[in-house]
Amino acid sequence: MNALEVEDLVMHFGPVRAVDGVTLRIREGSVVALVGESGSGKSTVGRCIVRLLEPTGGTVRLAGADITHLSRRQLRPHRRYVSIVFQDPAGSLDPRLSVGDIVGEPLRLMRRKGNVADALRRVGLRPEVAQRSPHELSGGQRQRVSIARALISEPRLLVADEPTSALDVSVQAAVLNLLADLQRDLGFACLFITHDLSAVEYLADEVAVMYLGQLVEQGPRARIFGTPAHPYTQALLSAAPVPDPVAQRQRKPVLLGDDLPSAIDPPDGCRFHTRCPVAVDRCRTVVPESRVIGSDGHQVACHLVEADGSGPDVRTSEGVAR
């Protein structure tokens, strides 16, 4: 069963086409990473899923229930199924409340029972932290509080929106390890929104790659990292650092040039064609459809990729077929 089903999701802010036809599914107990550059629409997808935003179009289903356009009152019984952890814990925790009140707030709103002390212990904090204010805690501790609050209602889906990007490098790994341990122990599904590909490789079961409001490639983590099909995915991976200093020095990142085009007036055809080193005339006029190119569910939206997954590799100097 799927914890989440998103079908043809659209989110426009006036003329800004932030999300333009995203289809995504997350199985119960699995982790799907949503990756892409800043401005690609990743966080907007997450906010639509938890209904902080009402989508312009499309469908969002949680555990089979369509929540896309429910009123606040109608949405209340579904709130327990999904929680979100934001990028900046300093901005998402109410400074007027104690940690205990913050963590316990979902229980009060849902009129459910739970134990705040246990929730704090689960994320590696002592129960006495409940008496403190958010400003008395470090950034890593505040994010642990955010995670405790998100999980105290025992959701079936956690949306983690760049949960480590606002933290010091020294504590990012600890928070990632915590999320991995909690996901394994509690079994919730997770949409992990990030631009950190090393974190994706560590945490995710599947990967969805987003570019300018649309998904260009989806598939199992090993497939995406091993044999990426879309030129944009290949370029992203070529720019990600590797732990081997010698290999890192020998790598030649793909230089895409130009900034991300405007979501107010996205390019015709394939939206990536203005930066793609192997684009052809068809890419400039015809929108590529997402196609399954493997028995493992690997999907790609690119005219140049064949049904068997073969196609250009922009990481080679000639960009020739693999």
- Domain at 140, CATH number: 3.40.50.300
Q: Both 191 and 237 in a single domain?
A: no
Strands (E), 14-77: 16-27, 31-35, 57-62, 65-66
The structural domain count of the chain equals 2
Which pTM value belongs to this model? 0.93
Please give the distance of CA 95 from its chain centroid, rounded to a whole number.
27
CA–CA gap between residue 124 and residue 119 (Å, rounded): 9
Please check whether residue 309 lies inside any domain of the structure. Answer: no
Q: How many CB atoms lie within 10 A of CB 12?
A: 16
CA dihedral 133, 135, 140, 142 (to 10 degrees): 40
Map tokens 């020998």 to a residue: 250
Please check whether residue 15 lies inside any domain of the structure. Answer: yes
Return the bridge partners of 299, or none. Answer: 218, 292
Q: Both 289 and 159 in a single domain?
A: no
CA–CA gap between residue 60 and residue 79 (Å, rounded): 13
**Per-residue confidence in pLDDT tens, the chain, 322 aa:** 899 999 999 999 999 999 999 999 999 999 999 999 999 999 999 999 999 999 999 999 999 999 999 998 999 889 889 999 999 888 889 999 999 999 999 988 887 788 999 999 999 999 999 999 999 999 999 999 999 999 999 999 999 999 998 888 889 999 999 999 999 999 999 999 999 999 999 999 999 999 999 999 999 999 999 999 999 999 999 877 666 666 556 667 777 767 789 999 999 999 999 999 999 999 999 999 999 998 999 999 999 999 888 888 888 744 433 3
Q: Both 27 and 131 in a single domain?
A: yes
Please provide the size of the chain in residues. Answer: 322
Residue-range definition of the domain harbouring residue 44: 2-204
